Amino acid sequence: MISGLGALRIGAGASSPLNGTVTLSGVNSYTGGTVIEAPHTLQISAAGTLGSSDGALTFTNAGRGFGTLNLNGSDLAVGNLSGGGGTIWNNMSGTNNVLTIGSGNASGGVFQGLILAGAGGLSLRKAGNGTNALTAMNTFVGNTTISGGALQLGDGISRNGGVTGEITNNATVIFANPSTQIFNGTVRGSGALVKTGAGQLTLTGAQAYTGNTAVNAGVFALSGIGSITNSAEISIASGASFDVLSRADQTLTLNGGQLLRGSGTIIGALSVPAGSEVQPGSSMGTLTVQGDVTLSGSVQMELNRTNAPACDQLNCTGTLTGGGTLTVVNPGPTLQMGDSFQLFNQPVAGFAAANLPSPGPGKTWTNRLALDGSIEVIAANAIASPDGQVVATVDVWNSNLTYSVSHSGVPVIETSALGLTVNGTNLGVGVVIMATNNYTVNEAFASRHGIHAFATNNYQGQAISIFHPASGISYVLNVRTFNNGVALRYELMGGATKNVTAESTSFVIPESSVVWSQSGNSVYEGMYGSADITALATNATLGPPVTIQLSGLNGFVALTEANLGAFPNPYLTKTANAPGRELRVPYPTNQDSTTGAVMNGSVTNTPWHVIMVGADLNALVNNDMVESLSPAPDAVLFPQGAATSWAAPGRSVWDWLNPQPGGITYTNAMTNSYWASQLGWEYNTVDEGWANWNGGNPWPQVQAVVNYSTARSVKVLLWKQSSELNSQAQRTAFFQQLTNYGVAGFKADFFDYSSVSAAAKERVKLQEDILREAAAYKLVANFHGTSKPTGQFRTYPNLLQFEGVFGKEQFPGSFSHSVPPFARFLAGPADFTPLALQGGLRGARTVPFEVASMIAMPGPMITIAERSDVVAQSPFALLIKKIPAMWDETIVLEQSQIGQTAVFARRKGTDWFVAAMNPGSVRIWNIPLSFLSSNVTYQADYIRDNSSYLEVGTVMQTNVLAVSAGVEGGIVAWFYQSPTNVYQPPTNQLAGIGFDFESPFNLPGNVANTTAVGATNAQFIGQQGWSQSTSGGRGAIVTTTASGLYPGGQALGSGDPGNAYIGANTNVVLGKKFRFDLFAPGGNKAGVAGFTDPNHDGLFSQSESGVFAGVNDSGGISYFGFRDLIAGGATYSSGVAANTTDWYRITVTLDDATRTATMEVTNLTAGGLAVDLNGATAGTAFSRTWSAGLWVSPTNFVGTLARASGTLLVDNIIVLQPAVSQPVTLGVRYAGSNLQLTWSSGFLLEATNVLGPWTTNLSATSPFIVIPSVPQKFFKVQLQ
């Protein structure tokens, strides 16, 4: 046994004996290592050792070659193994021993000798942390195990190194071959394989190691079935190569989870399947592939502009195909505008996602990967609204065109797809943004929507030029961002035919949003319902407008279209695409079985997709985008634009749902026109059935209806099946016929005839053809049985209504009344045909609910479902008749909740209406009236649940409206400004006649020669607001020989008291308000110069009677008021009188401009009444004017009852009993929509109508409000 710290040296240099052999058979413990000199042999017996296991083993030359170590059946562990030559083997047959090198803390060593196969088996084990290099081609037949440090095969400079058999590598194996080397074995284990040296290393087997592979130099090759699919990571250093050309597939295919990175070269193809990843570059570099590349997995790259814009790059000499995810990171400084990075040496398309680093504020990426493989920092395609609150962002991610919308920094449309399919190609995929062009518009125009007088068109626009390299098609994505929404459309350029068959435009709705929609996509008459966006059924059909209530306090979004052009009317559907919240735009099937449209013009546009946004329902309802995105009226067809006089807005009676007894007959049509005139409504819609009048020859009876209606200022519309308007010849014939007989327009119905969608492009074009050609004949139209409006109301002012709604014809429930104002009406007016006052059509809803629906659903024409006479004779008629078709201002009050309640405040002129519909449970509200003008007292009329008459009162801006709305109940309130200084007559006067004229009352231009009232022995009381200058003539208004003017009045001039009226040369300008009252002192005489019969009370004049205004006195042109009231015989050419046995009753209400009207006067022995406005100056407007005549005569006149032609609604008629024995007072004033009567105590009030009899109302006390609920209802006051 040898022990101690010294070394064992076998051989003594040149003097050693040749071929000496030393055998160690003991267990030696020396620690100084072992040196074997040539040509000696050291042999170990079965139990022998070389000392400590970490001792070095060194072979030296000594000038005579190298020695030999024979394990001789023993295992051996050594530290460093080194030497310029030598041989190690096991020459004992039947043994299988292990040589362990690198034991202990050995640093390693280079052994250039051979480990050979001897008579016995030999395996090699590498231990320790050092690196041991074997630089000869060893031939031992055992396996090699690497459990620590590294085993290097070859020196990387001049000598290859190798082993045979299997390598189990749990540390590192380094192939450092400077020349070609083939390894036919297999490497297993968890360790890494490193290739160094300039030579090529070829692996021919399927390797099983799971550690990393690093190709740091030379060529790493796989041949045959060679593979390293289990290696976790492959890195190829710059200058190194990975050659797979000798493989059968000539492809490096990464395994799932495998990573390839580096800046070297792959000789052959590269496939990166899903789950694997490639990282070109090493920190920053280029990975070159000499073959095809398929990138279905992940690609991660790095860019940096520290010195100059630089990036990782993947160069491909073959075909480059995307498909996975591209991720680019920027560890460097902030990017600058114009920084460009060439990520690939050629175009690459198909990435499922491209995650690019944030370029910084105000910047975005232009993704040109599909064009040339690059990306570039450009100015952001973020189009902000003028107020900066709405932002639309357009990007190209992985060559896919996308957009998103935010409102006040909150996403309201998440990243969503854009694109359209043209000639079979989706132009939203594989595109490049080429340029942008910004523009701005800020304008206002008269609105025909009905929600407010003027629409605001204010937006920031961006025209984004898009190029689709694969097809060579260029187009523009036009985006406009308004303060309350975003609109976008595609604009295709060039004259070539473009077949647009579909869109990929989508809307990804934020999570937890509630969608309100209806399912109709042809005739839009589905019932609105709601669902959470995630719960909405896949493939559900949604007919816009679709209203979306965002979660929390994030407001609302509504989706619809505008300006269809040649396209069909699109709808929406829910897709199955992730994240399960996507709505997409399909086109309906056309009549020719296609979808979409064919374009062949120089520039052709798709419809605008409209995304309305609002913080609340008020912002949503007041949205003007649909009108703003639609063309203005044609100046040739509509020179007056939205104010086209022959297409004026109005209300219409209707005979379909609630016809008069006997059905749709021409006499009933006249009856409806009569009641329309009593209501002051402008239109009478005669529905299906008129064509059968007169045995199928209806036109003579149509003429009779038109004549009767025209005399009452009512226009007639006739129903027509739209299929009968399909050709231009049909339209021309029908329109000419309507014009010939004075019919104002028509209602075209059933646009889905012949089983073709009403939204098909052919039906869209038909509607436009109808409107355009009807305009040439000055005909108005109402479309029924159709889809949604898309801006036609602006382009064609002759379109008065457009159905496309689940309306009264469907007998809708209460909720179906309260939802459409916040959904369907966002696209434009809808002919819901509101208002039912009785029967099943009304159902359980209260009257105020029904009247409120009329206020909540405006438009150029409101068609009323209720029978006309029922409305006119309703106790609420005076309020209902004042509801306009269109409004100057709309406020959706905070009490509104979509699907629950609809509460509006709407203004027309100075009048305000509040309307509430409450379908659900009882609600108590206190509604501030802050919208009223300050410091103004308003008269207030109310319709409340369970009311049987109008309630009245006064309010101011500081008041609160208390509301208790029952189930299916509501309220309607009308606030209107009161006349100032309303006159109360003195107690010793008997009222003779009263007038009250309120704003607006205007005769534009020079209104000289206006004539007023003449009387003597009377008082002129309470005149306000006139101004005049007198230039001579025949006197002035009302001078008296008795007491003169009542205090507070104002004289207009002075003239001949014997002929007291304003003559032809007096200039009078009507001001804002005018009121006068005539009273007869003593109650028995109010005569006129030239007629002083003491037996008459009343208002008289010899040649011209009453109140009128005109350009000249002689022609009576353009006057209003009473004229030639009664032809009383030869003695009296004019006047008002009645005998002692008959009550005389007379009144007139003037509400409309340039109105011609007459009324019937009953119980007269002679006379009649005419109100002639035929000659009124253009622009004349009369509003809320009334007069009440109060006279009785004891003298019987001789003559025949002369009735005027036709009948006018008698709103307010007051009759006073003349047989009084004491001075009495009857006060008459206009109290809102009613009359207020005051009288001395002790009087009774009696009432009747033309059918009688008088009925005493013993409970009536002064003051008494007269509600003119029944036409020709009269009242009298009698001393008890």
CA pair distance 1089, 1103, nearest whole angstrom:
11
Q: What is the pLDDT of residue 1197?
A: 23
Report the distance separating Cα 826 and Cα 858, nearest Å: 11
623 and 745 together in one domain = no
- Please tell me whether residues 370 and 459 are part of one structural domain: no
- Residue 943's pLDDT is 97
924: pLDDT confidence band, cut at 50, 70 and 90?
Answer: very high
Same domain, 761 and 660: yes
The mean pLDDT value for 226-255 works out to 96
Q: Could you give the number of structural domains in the chain? A: 4
pLDDT above 70: residue 1223: no
β 572-574/541-549 pair status: antiparallel
Longest dimension (CA), the chain: 178
Predicted confidence (pLDDT) at residue 208 exceeds the cutoff of 50: yes
Domain shared by 544 and 615, yes or no: yes
Among the candidates 855, 887, 919, a domain finishes at 887
Q: Which residue has the higher pLDDT, 732 or 2?
A: 732
Whether the Cβ atoms of residue 1037 and residue 1015 lie closer than 8 Å to each other: no
> 1150 in helix, strand or coil?
strand
Pair of tokens at residue 770 = 């109808």
Q: Is residue 412 part of a domain?
A: yes
| Residues in Cβ contact with 606 at an 8 Å cutoff, skipping those fewer than 6 apart | 420, 489, 490, 491, 492, 500, 503, 565, 567
**361 plus 437 within the same structural domain:** no
Q: Is residue 318 part of a domain?
A: yes
Looking at the fold, whether 66 and 137 belong to one and the same domain comes out as yes
- Provide the pLDDT confidence category of residue 6 given band limits of 50, 70 and 90: confident
Residue 433 near residue 477, CB atoms below 8 Å: no
The gap from C-alpha 269 to its chain's centroid, in whole angstroms, comes to 49
Given a cut of 50, is residue 138 above it in pLDDT? yes
24 within some domain: yes
Task: Give 721: exposed, middle or buried? Use CB within 10 Å, 0-12, 13-18, 19+.
Answer: middle
Dist. CA 1109–CA 1114, nearest whole Å: 12
The pairs formed by 273-279 with CB atoms below 8 angstroms and a separation of 24 or more are 273/297, 274/324, 278/254, 278/314, 279/312
Q: Which residues contact 645 (CB under 8 A, 6 or more apart)?
A: none
**pLDDT by residue (tens digit) across 651-692?**
999 999 999 999 999 999 999 999 999 999 999 999 999 999
Q: 400 to each of 349, 759, 1005, how far by Cα in Å?
A: 9, 29, 63
Convert 229-248 to b/e letters by CB count within 10 Å (16 or more is b): ebbebbbbbbebbbbbeebe
Q: Does 387 lie in the same domain as 363?
A: no
In this predicted structure, what is the pLDDT of residue 19?
Answer: 67
Domain coverage including residue 624: 381-590+601-629
What was the pLDDT predicted at 199?
A: 96
Asked if the structure places residue 1179 within a domain, the reply is no
Q: What is the C-alpha separation between 1009 and 1116, in angstroms, rounded?
A: 11
639: Cβ contacts below 8 Å, ≥ 6 apart = none
The answer to whether residues 417 and 544 belong to one domain is yes
Residues 560 and 703 in one domain: no
Here the CATH number for the domain that contains residue 552 is 2.70.98.10
Give pLDDT tens digits for 77-105.
999 999 999 999 988 888 889 999 998 87
- Three-class secondary structure of residue 670 per DSSP: helix
The verdict on 423 and 521 lying in the same domain is yes
Chain center to CA of 638: 29
What integer pLDDT is reported at residue 381 of this predicted model?
82
Q: What is the pLDDT of residues 974-986, one digit of tens each?
A: 999 865 333 333 3
So what's the pLDDT on residue 164?
85
Between 885 and 497, whose confidence is greater?
885
Higher confidence at residue 993 or residue 65?
65
- What whole-number percentage of the chain has pLDDT above 90? 61
**Joined tokens for residue 359:** 């370029």
Do 371 and 463 share a structural domain? no
Q: Please answer whether residues 709 and 681 qualify as being in contact, where contact means their C-beta atoms are separated by less than 8 angstroms.
A: no
Tell me the pLDDT band of 1277, cut-offs 50, 70 and 90: very low
pLDDT bracket for residue 18 (50, 70, 90): low
Range from 3-12, 223-232, 1117-1126 carrying the lowest mean pLDDT: 1117-1126
Please give the share of the chain, as a percent, with pLDDT higher than 70: 75
Integer Rg of the chain from CA: 50
In the structure encoding, which two tokens stand for residue 1252, read together? 């009688």
Amino acid at 1038: V
Name the residue type at position 480.
Answer: R
> Which CATH number is 684's domain given?
3.20.20.70
- What does pLDDT average to over the chain? 79
Range name among 336-340, 395-399, 698-702, 1024-1028 with the lowest pLDDT average:
1024-1028
**Residue 281 half-sphere exposure toward CB, CA atoms < 13 A:** 19
Question: Within this chain, do residues 385 and 370 fall inside the same structural domain, yes or no?
Answer: no
pLDDT of 1067 reads 27
Name the token pair of 631.
């063309």
Residue that is last in its domain, among 102, 122, 142: 142
Q: The tokens 């509104």 sit on which residue?
A: 896
Q: Is residue 532 part of a domain?
A: yes
Q: Which residues contact 1141 (CB under 8 A, 6 or more apart)?
A: none
* pTM (2 d.p.): 0.60
Q: Is residue 1030 part of a domain?
A: no
Q: How far, in Å, CA of 982 to CA of 960, rounded?
A: 25
Mean pLDDT, rounded, for 319-329: 94
Burial class (CB in 10 A: 0-12, 13-18, 19+), 1278: middle
Of 858, 791, 471, 861, give the one whose Cα is nearest residue 632. 791
Contact 171, 128 (CB under 8 A): no
Render 756-820 in DSSP notation, one character per residue: --TTSHHHHHHHHHHHHHHHHTT-EEEE-S----SSHHHH-TTEEEE--S--GGG---SHHHHSG
Question: 859: phi > 0 → left, psi -120 to 50 → alpha, else beta; which?
Answer: left
Distance from the first to the final alpha carbon of the chain: 156
Q: Which element (helix H / strand E) includes 604?
A: strand 603-605
Q: Is the pLDDT of residue 1105 over 90?
A: no
Among 94-103, 766-775, 831-840, the range scoring the smallest mean pLDDT is 94-103
Q: Is residue 164 situated within a structural domain?
A: no
pLDDT at 1064: 25
Residue 39 belongs to some domain of the structure: yes
Can you tell me the distance from the alpha carbon of 218 to that of 240, in angstroms, rounded to the nearest whole number? 5
Where does a domain end: 142, 159, 184? 142
